[in-house]
Amino acid sequence: MSQPVQRGFAPVHADADSAGWWRSVAERRFTLPRCLECRAWFFPPASSCPSCGSRDTELTAASGDGRVYSWVVVNRALDPAFAIDTPYTVAAIDLGEGPRMFGRLTGDGPVHAGDSVRAVFYEVEGQVLVGFAPAMGRRLEDPQGALGV
Protein backbone atom coordinates (compact mmCIF):
# COMPACT_ATOMS: atom_id res chain seq x y z
CA MET A 1 0.00 0.00 0.00
CA SER A 2 1.44 3.34 -1.01
CA GLN A 3 1.61 6.35 1.26
CA PRO A 4 -0.23 9.51 0.18
CA VAL A 5 2.05 12.15 -1.26
CA GLN A 6 2.44 15.17 1.00
CA ARG A 7 2.09 18.18 -1.24
CA GLY A 8 2.10 21.11 1.11
CA PHE A 9 -1.34 22.01 -0.16
CA ALA A 10 -2.72 25.15 1.46
CA PRO A 11 -6.25 24.41 2.71
CA VAL A 12 -9.04 26.60 1.46
CA HIS A 13 -9.79 29.58 3.68
CA ALA A 14 -13.51 30.12 3.39
CA ASP A 15 -14.99 33.51 4.14
CA ALA A 16 -18.48 34.32 5.42
CA ASP A 17 -19.92 34.20 1.89
CA SER A 18 -18.30 30.95 0.81
CA ALA A 19 -18.22 28.91 4.04
CA GLY A 20 -21.59 27.24 3.38
CA TRP A 21 -20.61 26.32 -0.16
CA TRP A 22 -17.34 24.79 1.02
CA ARG A 23 -19.27 22.79 3.63
CA SER A 24 -21.48 21.35 0.87
CA VAL A 25 -18.37 20.51 -1.16
CA ALA A 26 -16.86 18.74 1.86
CA GLU A 27 -20.06 16.66 1.96
CA ARG A 28 -19.69 16.07 -1.80
CA ARG A 29 -22.93 17.86 -2.56
CA PHE A 30 -22.89 20.12 -5.63
CA THR A 31 -24.77 23.30 -4.80
CA LEU A 32 -24.95 26.82 -6.17
CA PRO A 33 -26.23 30.00 -4.59
CA ARG A 34 -29.68 30.97 -5.81
CA CYS A 35 -31.67 34.13 -5.28
CA LEU A 36 -35.03 33.58 -3.62
CA GLU A 37 -36.29 36.91 -4.99
CA CYS A 38 -35.49 36.75 -8.74
CA ARG A 39 -34.58 33.01 -8.86
CA ALA A 40 -31.17 33.71 -10.52
CA TRP A 41 -28.38 31.20 -9.96
CA PHE A 42 -24.94 32.66 -9.39
CA PHE A 43 -21.36 31.75 -8.56
CA PRO A 44 -19.14 32.46 -6.69
CA PRO A 45 -21.10 32.76 -3.45
CA ALA A 46 -21.78 36.36 -2.47
CA SER A 47 -23.65 38.17 0.26
CA SER A 48 -26.27 39.38 -2.20
CA CYS A 49 -27.70 38.46 -5.58
CA PRO A 50 -25.60 39.93 -8.42
CA SER A 51 -28.75 40.22 -10.56
CA CYS A 52 -31.17 42.06 -8.26
CA GLY A 53 -29.19 42.86 -5.10
CA SER A 54 -31.44 40.85 -2.79
CA ARG A 55 -29.74 39.39 0.28
CA ASP A 56 -32.37 36.64 0.34
CA THR A 57 -30.32 33.79 -1.19
CA GLU A 58 -29.69 30.16 -0.39
CA LEU A 59 -27.48 27.29 -1.50
CA THR A 60 -29.52 25.04 -3.76
CA ALA A 61 -28.79 21.58 -5.10
CA ALA A 62 -27.61 21.94 -8.70
CA SER A 63 -27.12 19.44 -11.50
CA GLY A 64 -23.34 19.68 -11.83
CA ASP A 65 -23.83 19.43 -15.59
CA GLY A 66 -22.06 21.86 -17.84
CA ARG A 67 -20.16 22.49 -21.03
CA VAL A 68 -16.56 23.47 -21.64
CA TYR A 69 -16.28 27.16 -22.48
CA SER A 70 -12.48 27.31 -22.55
CA TRP A 71 -9.48 25.59 -21.01
CA VAL A 72 -5.73 25.72 -20.46
CA VAL A 73 -3.25 22.89 -20.07
CA VAL A 74 -0.89 23.61 -17.18
CA ASN A 75 2.59 22.25 -17.86
CA ARG A 76 4.40 24.22 -15.14
CA ALA A 77 2.41 24.51 -11.92
CA LEU A 78 2.34 27.94 -10.31
CA ASP A 79 1.90 26.28 -6.91
CA PRO A 80 4.45 23.57 -6.03
CA ALA A 81 1.63 21.55 -4.44
CA PHE A 82 0.35 20.76 -7.93
CA ALA A 83 3.68 20.09 -9.64
CA ILE A 84 3.23 16.33 -9.39
CA ASP A 85 -0.03 16.62 -11.35
CA THR A 86 1.43 18.33 -14.42
CA PRO A 87 0.35 18.41 -17.09
CA TYR A 88 -3.25 19.01 -16.05
CA THR A 89 -6.17 20.90 -17.53
CA VAL A 90 -8.15 23.73 -15.93
CA ALA A 91 -11.37 24.61 -17.67
CA ALA A 92 -14.01 27.30 -17.57
CA ILE A 93 -17.34 25.48 -17.43
CA ASP A 94 -20.68 27.00 -18.31
CA LEU A 95 -22.98 25.25 -15.86
CA GLY A 96 -26.45 24.17 -16.90
CA GLU A 97 -27.95 26.58 -14.36
CA GLY A 98 -26.08 29.50 -15.94
CA PRO A 99 -23.03 30.44 -13.85
CA ARG A 100 -19.50 29.87 -15.11
CA MET A 101 -17.11 27.95 -12.84
CA PHE A 102 -13.44 27.06 -13.12
CA GLY A 103 -12.12 23.66 -12.19
CA ARG A 104 -9.77 20.82 -12.95
CA LEU A 105 -10.84 18.81 -15.99
CA THR A 106 -10.16 15.10 -15.78
CA GLY A 107 -9.78 12.67 -18.65
CA ASP A 108 -7.11 11.91 -21.18
CA GLY A 109 -8.90 12.75 -24.40
CA PRO A 110 -8.72 15.97 -26.37
CA VAL A 111 -10.86 18.84 -25.10
CA HIS A 112 -13.27 20.73 -27.32
CA ALA A 113 -15.34 23.82 -26.65
CA GLY A 114 -18.86 22.65 -25.96
CA ASP A 115 -17.90 19.25 -24.57
CA SER A 116 -20.40 18.02 -21.98
CA VAL A 117 -18.99 17.60 -18.49
CA ARG A 118 -20.28 16.81 -15.04
CA ALA A 119 -19.01 17.93 -11.66
CA VAL A 120 -16.86 15.48 -9.73
CA PHE A 121 -15.25 15.70 -6.33
CA TYR A 122 -11.64 14.87 -5.61
CA GLU A 123 -9.49 15.23 -2.56
CA VAL A 124 -6.07 16.76 -1.99
CA GLU A 125 -4.64 16.26 1.49
CA GLY A 126 -8.09 16.03 3.04
CA GLN A 127 -9.50 19.05 1.21
CA VAL A 128 -12.41 18.13 -1.08
CA LEU A 129 -12.36 20.11 -4.33
CA VAL A 130 -14.69 20.34 -7.32
CA GLY A 131 -13.52 19.33 -10.76
CA PHE A 132 -15.20 18.22 -13.95
CA ALA A 133 -15.17 14.99 -15.92
CA PRO A 134 -16.26 14.29 -19.47
CA ALA A 135 -19.92 13.30 -19.64
CA MET A 136 -21.57 11.09 -22.16
CA GLY A 137 -23.41 13.52 -24.35
CA ARG A 138 -23.30 15.82 -27.24
CA ARG A 139 -21.35 18.93 -28.05
CA LEU A 140 -23.02 22.24 -28.69
CA GLU A 141 -21.71 22.22 -32.27
CA ASP A 142 -22.84 18.61 -32.65
CA PRO A 143 -26.51 18.69 -31.65
CA GLN A 144 -27.22 15.31 -33.19
CA GLY A 145 -24.39 13.57 -31.36
CA ALA A 146 -22.99 12.37 -34.67
CA LEU A 147 -19.41 12.71 -33.47
CA GLY A 148 -20.06 10.15 -30.76
CA VAL A 149 -18.54 12.26 -28.03
Provide the binding-site residues for Zn ion, judged by CB under 5 A.
35, 37-38, 40, 49, 51-52, 54
d(CA 95, CA 47): 21
The gap between the terminal CA atoms of the chain, to the nearest Å, is: 36
**Looking at beta carbons only, is 48 or 106 nearer to Zn ion?**
48
51 or 127: whose CB is closer to Zn ion? 51
Q: Give the nearest distance from C-beta 35 to Zn ion in angstroms.
A: 3
* In the complex, least distance from residue 58 CB atom to Zn ion, rounded to whole angstroms: 12
88: Cβ–Cβ under 8 A, 6 or more apart, which residues?
73, 74, 82, 104
3-state secondary structure of 113: coil
Which CB, 40 or 113, lies closer to Zn ion? 40
How far apart are alpha carbons 23 and 21 in whole angstroms?
5
* In the complex, minimum distance from the CB of residue 83 to Zn ion, in angstroms, rounded to a whole number: 41
Q: How far apart are CB 42 and Zn ion at their closest, in Å? A: 8
Q: Which residues are paired to 98 by β-bridges?
A: none
Pick 44 or 80: Cβ nearer Zn ion:
44
CA-CA distance, 23 to 77, in Å (whole number)? 27
